[in-house]
Structure 1
Amino acid sequence: MNREQISRIAHAEHPIKAPLDDDSVGRLLERGVPRGDERVLDLGCGGGEWLLRGLSTWPQLQAEGVDVSRDDLAQAREAASHLGVNERLVLHHQDAADFVSPRSFDLVLSVAATHAFGGLLPTLAAAGKHLAPGGRVLIGEGFWDREPSGEAIEMLGDFTDLATTVDRVVADGWTPVDGHVSTRRELDDYEWACWGSLASWALDHPGDPDSSQALETATTRRSEWLRVYRDTWGFVCLVLRRTSD
């Protein structure tokens, strides 16, 4: 069972691949597309959940998504067809860091995908290349809510605290116009959903050759969350505009 298969099963009950509940996703999108007729780009769109939510909410919205996963893009196309929004969605199978478009976009999203660009600031640089004047970026990134252990840093990455994260963004030429710090409930719900879904799949498919690996992975990841980073790691989404266009 590869990483992509594990992710697909783990997110079956939590399609937004980040610790955000439905209300938070909706509010962030509203801040990102104040008119409702914007052009939206998602760099690292996965199954297109953010784009599908936007297209279903605003009938004048146009959206494009970029991802390296053929399976996730196929899932996005199927969902778009089911929702009747496929004519307003364009999907690109390629590395988001290499994506080039002749068009600019009013909102560029990259939530929980900064690893694909090498970090927060490189992600903002990539997003900025696609941004129309006056446009907005919606970015989601982890941070350390408390001093982490060395094991936590090795496991999740070398993040900074929330204030420093925002300071780095501002120093890079961006102004936050809204944001959301995931609550304890959102963080916990996300972890329970992911590893619970993977464990349930394993228990429901005892004869599958991948069931033992799936159950072992769910058990390991749940333990890592509870013992290593639950009390130290947080997640923030920022809605940004350029300080000067």
Structure 2
Amino acid sequence: MDRQTISRLAHARHPVAAPLSDASVGALLERALAPEPEGRALDLGCGRAAWLLRALGARPRWRAVGVDVDAAALALARESAEALGVQRRIGLHHQDAREFTDDRPFELVLNVGATHVFGGLLPALDAARAFLAPGGRVLVGEGFWEREPSAAALAALGAGREDYADLATTVDRVAADGWTPVSGHVSTRQEWDDYEFSWTGSLAQWALDRPEHPDAADARAAADLHRAEWLHGYRGTLGFVTLLLRRD
């Protein structure tokens, strides 16, 4: 079972694909969308376009564009857009976000939990800057070290110590790059736990419901491994911050 399929199944009950509650997502979007009654939003690595669909539901005069390499996730996004009646206000592109172009600027650019597409936080912000309208905002979500990572945490994440910084350093780096945080949210332990139980539980449930499926054993093994890596590795070590940014 490939990584995209595993991720899509694991996020079935949590399509935002980040450790954020519905209330946190709503609050962040309210701040991000509030300044303009209409505008354009772009999500670079949108998955099932959960952020964009939520935004369009809240702002009937906004339009949106999503870009992702997972064709199946985009198909689910289109189904959701039709169910919500917003399909005419969203364009979904099956494309590497690094290769996407658009001639018109966006009032809001999102990259929550997908900075790896560009090679890290600052390169992702560089990419977002190219699409941003004057006075526009970027909503970006990134991991950080809650505490010094142990060898077990690094092994579970497949990460190096240098892949993340602590929260203060992360925000300092963003500010030094010419961005000003105007809002933000640090995911709570409850949000992380809910997210991880949803991730592993959704994948395991899919396997349990389809014992004869050729991918059932792989899905169950992936769920069990992820649960062990979380509980015995990085729980309480990896944090997640979502920042709403403006250019200086």
TM superposition score category, shorter chain reference: over 0.9
> What is the aligned-residue RMSD (CA, Å)?
1.0
Contact 2:189 2:236 in 1 (8 A): no
2:239 is aligned with 1:234: yes
Query: Could you tell me how far 1:43 is from its partner in structure 2?
Result: 0.4
Tell me, what secondary structure is at the counterpart of 1:234?
Answer: strand
CA distance in 1, matches of 2:164, 2:196: 19
> Is 65-74 or 174-183 further displaced after alignment?
65-74
Tell me, what secondary structure is at the counterpart of 1:90?
Answer: strand
Query: Could you tell me how far 1:21 is from its partner in structure 2?
Result: 0.5
Q: How does 1:63-212 map to 2 (within 5 A)?
A: 63-154=64-155, 155-157=157-159, 158-212=163-217
CA distance in 1, matches of 2:27, 2:45: 20
Identity over aligned residues, as a percent? 60
CA distance in 2, matches of 1:212, 1:227: 22
Q: For residue 221 of structure 1, what is the aligned residue in structure 2?
A: 226
Q: Deviations over 1:110-163 (max 9, x none)?
A: 000000000000000000000000000000000000000134235253210000
CA distance in 1, matches of 2:207, 2:94: 30
CA distance in 2, matches of 1:91, 1:203: 32
CA distance in 1, matches of 2:134, 2:215: 49
CA distance in 2, matches of 1:143, 1:128: 22
Letter in 2 for 1:189: D
CA distance in 1, matches of 2:219, 2:63: 37
TM-score by length of 1: 0.97
CA distance in 2, matches of 1:227, 1:203: 24
Letter in 2 for 1:94: Q
Q: For residue 40 of structure 1, what is the aligned residue in structure 2?
A: 41
> Is 204-213 or 159-168 further displaced after alignment?
204-213
TM-score by length of 2: 0.96
Q: Deviations over 1:81-117 (max 9, x none)?
A: 1111011101112111111110100000000000000
Q: For residue 16 of structure 1, what is the aligned residue in structure 2?
A: 16
Q: For residue 51 of structure 1, what is the aligned residue in structure 2?
A: 52
Report the number of matched residues. Answer: 243
Query: Could you tell me how far 1:210 is from its partner in structure 2?
Result: 1.1
CA distance in 1, matches of 2:219, 2:32: 37
Q: Deviations over 1:29-55 (max 9, x none)?
A: 111111231210000011110000011
CA distance in 2, matches of 1:76, 1:205: 24
Contact 2:204 2:223 in 1 (8 A): yes
Contact 2:39 2:106 in 1 (8 A): yes
